[in-house]
Amino acid sequence: MSKSVTPRTPKGFRDFLPETMLRRNYVLSNITDEFHRFGFEPIGTPILELHETLFGKYGEDAEQLIFTAQHGRSTREPLAMRYDLTVPLARVVGQYENELNFPFKRYHIAPVFRGERPQRGRYREFWQCDADIVGVPGMSADAEIVSLMQRILSRLGFPQFQIKINHRQLLVAIGEFSGVPQEQLPDLYRSVDKFDKIGAEGVRRELTERGIAADAVSRMMDLIQAKAAGAGSLDLIADAIGEDDQGIAELRELAALLAEAKVPPACYEFDFTMARGLGYYTGPIFETVISQPNLGSITGGGRYDNLIGMFRRQSLPTTGTSFGIERIIDLMDELNLYPGRLGGTLVQVLVTVFNQATRGASMRIAEELRGAGINTELYLPSRKLGRQFQYADKKGIPVVVIIGPDELAAGVVKLRRLADGSETTVASSGAVEAALTLLSQTP
RNA sequence: GUGGGCGUAGCUCAAUGGCAGAGCACCUGAUUGUGGUUCAGGCGGUUGAGGGUUCGAGCCCCUUCGUCCACCCCA
């Protein structure tokens, strides 16, 4: 006997039991389905990448969080675990350029790894769910990304959400117009991004502490808080800094396209306080928030025209979004947005086995139900009927089939719906139909 | 990376430094053709781990691990 080991997962890594996994799969299959509806196609890439593929792409702070990997003592190919799905996309585009048909619309749903200290909604292994369009410089691609976000979140049943839209170059223009020195712009973004959390005063204080002139901070704060319905906030900004700005021009075009795409105006707004981590964005940026329970943003993305250049002599214009599915799932749990049929099991019918002599008959019924597309579990252990019912009840299986000696002799099957205890007896040839009827009447 | 809270039965939690408990869950029976109700009984512990103080530690001290929260940063 080996010494017993305390069973546990590594810090920040999680297991998912069936009930949880069913909910995760429900969310992912709905998102996937909508990706397909928009013509996005999947790719898959390895969990491990070459060390050199990942390093040098995220900045020093982030690189400390990258998991590295090795096999035995081999150091011939230093390896690392993927940190996101965007760099792998850039590598794939660079590597298979000749085989891809541009514009390349791909989605990628897979786990990524970051050695951060875990917290609520924050893990060392978490799934990312990205959709990106490579090769389209114009706002038509960005409009499609926004439209996709709106369709997916509506489909998942979120009663209310706000897609916030801003523009990287417009933020630069606002900073410069206000007199914030170029080298302090990153500080400015970082603070402005916390607007929702720490408020206008908090941002003002932080920027002043970082040594940005008070009058520049004041001018900037006034500008970024410009808010009006629809494209109205664009007018406010344009009045102040002038119409001659690429950010404003692109956002105006985007607004027009979103109207054409019939994206409901209530779902999105131009919000100049939204900055995103910044990093590699070069154009419009997107983020979705839900205000009811405030858990932060559930999507994030934007245009990053330079990134693919890391694996290619010339870059390709790219825009896309990432769905924060871990948070989306948390929120859906909290708001109870799952359909009732999801329950705790996917089994629809349990076929009981009365005794060894009737086992064959039960197996035949189960086989028939499965053939008709009904998720059917045959009770495998030899236990008395009461235990088999208890099992079905505890697991949430809606319908139980009984075929004992009496039924066998009479050539019938009995079906019982556990929710209300209603029972029907039908000729064994009618088992499938009876099961379907009972199931369809179950909410 | 910084600061803090919490680790007791499978789960949720009790227990002035003085006999380690309850509810739920689980198992058995009442009930050898029917679950979710009820009743009776039962199983369940190196109090996260290691050290220290004490006549005596779940409780106090140190170390360590885990976990949660707030920062940093981000998804």
Chain segment A35-81, per-residue pLDDT in tens:
999 999 999 999 999 999 999 888 888 888 999 988 887 778 999 99
Point out the nucleotide closest to A123 (alpha carbon to C1′): B75
Measure the CA–CA gap between A338 and A329, rounded to whole angstroms.
10
Tokens of A377: 């579990």
- Residue A4, φ and ψ in degrees, nearest 5: -75, 145
Hey, is A319 helix, strand or coil?
A: strand
Point out the nucleotide closest to A11 (alpha carbon to C1′): B66
Measure the CA–CA gap between A442 and A281, rounded to whole angstroms.
49
Point out the nucleotide closest to A121 (alpha carbon to C1′): B75
Q: What is the pLDDT of residues A199-238, one digit of tens each?
A: 888 888 888 888 888 888 888 888 888 887 777 889 999 9
Tell me: pLDDT of A3 over 60.
Answer: no
Instruction: Please tell me the number of Cα atoms within 13 Å of A125 on its side-chain side.
Output: 11
Q: Are A402 and A428 in contact (CB under 8 A)?
A: no
Specify the pLDDT at position A4. 61
Measure the CA–CA gap between A143 and A255, rounded to whole angstroms.
8
- Taking the CA of residue A348 and the C1' sugar atom of nucleotide B44, their distance in angstroms comes to 34
Measure the CA–CA gap between A408 and A120, rounded to whole angstroms.
55
Tell me: pLDDT of A1 over 70.
Answer: no
Measure the CA–CA gap between A377 and A352, rounded to whole angstroms.
9
Looking at A27-31, A184-188, A255-259, A280-284, which range is the least confident one?
A184-188
Tell me: pLDDT of A341 over 70.
Answer: yes
Point out the nucleotide closest to A297 (alpha carbon to C1′): B75
- Taking the CA of residue A5 and the C1' sugar atom of nucleotide B49, their distance in angstroms comes to 13
**Quick one: average pLDDT of A135-151?**
97
Q: How far is CA A124 from the centre of its chain?
A: 16
Alpha-helical runs (H) found in A287-348: 325-335
Q: Are A320 and A301 in contact (CB under 8 A)?
A: yes
Among A247, A268, A277, CA closest to A86: A277
Residue reference for tokens 């100049």:
A272
Point out the nucleotide closest to A14 (alpha carbon to C1′): B67
DSSP A405-429: HHHHHHTEEEEEETTT--EEEEEGG
Q: Which residue gives the smallest C-alpha to C1' distance to B66?
A: A11
Cis peptide before A103 (omega within 30 of 0): yes
Specify the pLDDT at position A391. 93
| Vertex A143 angle, CA A166 and A328, to 5° | 75
What is the separation, in whole angstroms, between the first and last Cα of chain A? 50
Strand partners, A65: none
Specify the pLDDT at position A7. 78
Those residues with Cβ within 8 angstroms of residue A154's Cβ, 6 or more apart along the chain or in another chain: A267
Hey, is A290 helix, strand or coil?
A: coil
- Taking the CA of residue A126 and the C1' sugar atom of nucleotide B35, their distance in angstroms comes to 38
Sign of CA dihedral A123, A124, A128, A133: positive
- Taking the CA of residue A2 and the C1' sugar atom of nucleotide B51, their distance in angstroms comes to 27
Rg (CA), chain A: 28
Tokens of A113: 């790894």
Residue reference for tokens 């997962």:
A9
Q: What is the pLDDT of residues A106-132, one digit of tens each?
A: 999 999 999 988 887 788 999 999 999
DSSP 8-state secondary structure symbol assigned to residue A19 = H
- Taking the CA of residue A5 and the C1' sugar atom of nucleotide B18, their distance in angstroms comes to 35
**Helices and strands, counts by H and E, chain A:** 16, 16
Tell me: pLDDT of A417 over 70.
Answer: yes
- Taking the CA of residue A5 and the C1' sugar atom of nucleotide B53, their distance in angstroms comes to 32
Q: Which percentage of chain A shows pLDDT scores above 70? A: 98
Tell me: pLDDT of A432 over 80.
Answer: yes
Q: Are A302 and A284 in contact (CB under 8 A)?
A: yes
State which H helix or E strand residue A435 sits in. helix A431-440
Q: Which residue gives the smallest C-alpha to C1' distance to B1?
A: A117
Distances in Å between the alpha carbon of A119 and those of A21, A71, A113, A123, A124?
21, 30, 14, 7, 10
Looking at every residue in chain A, the average pLDDT score rounds to: 90
- Taking the CA of residue A102 and the C1' sugar atom of nucleotide B22, their distance in angstroms comes to 67
- Taking the CA of residue A394 and the C1' sugar atom of nucleotide B13, their distance in angstroms comes to 25
Taking residue A76's Cβ as centre, other Cβ atoms within 10 Å add up to 5
Point out the nucleotide closest to A276 (alpha carbon to C1′): B74
Q: What is the pLDDT of residues A240-251, one digit of tens each?
A: 888 889 999 999
Residue reference for tokens 């002038």:
A242
Q: Which nucleotides of B are covered by protein (CB under 7 A)?
A: 1-2, 26, 31-36, 66-75
DSSP A61-88: HHHTTPPEE--TT--SS-EEE-S-SHHH
Q: How far is CA A406 from the centre of its chain?
A: 52
| More confident of the two residues A180 and A389 | A389
Tell me: pLDDT of A369 over 60.
Answer: yes
Beta strands in A123-247 (DSSP E): 125-134, 162-167
**Quick one: average pLDDT of A400-424?**
94
Point out the nucleotide closest to A278 (alpha carbon to C1′): B74
Specify the pLDDT at position A278. 61
Q: Which percentage of chain A shows pLDDT scores above 90? A: 59
**Region for residue A180 given its phi and psi (left: phi exceeds 0; alpha: psi -120 to 50; beta: otherwise):** beta
State which H helix or E strand residue A289 sits in. strand A284-289
Among A191, A195, A189, CA closest to A207: A191
- pTM value is 0.91
- Taking the CA of residue A392 and the C1' sugar atom of nucleotide B24, their distance in angstroms comes to 20
Specify the pLDDT at position A2. 41
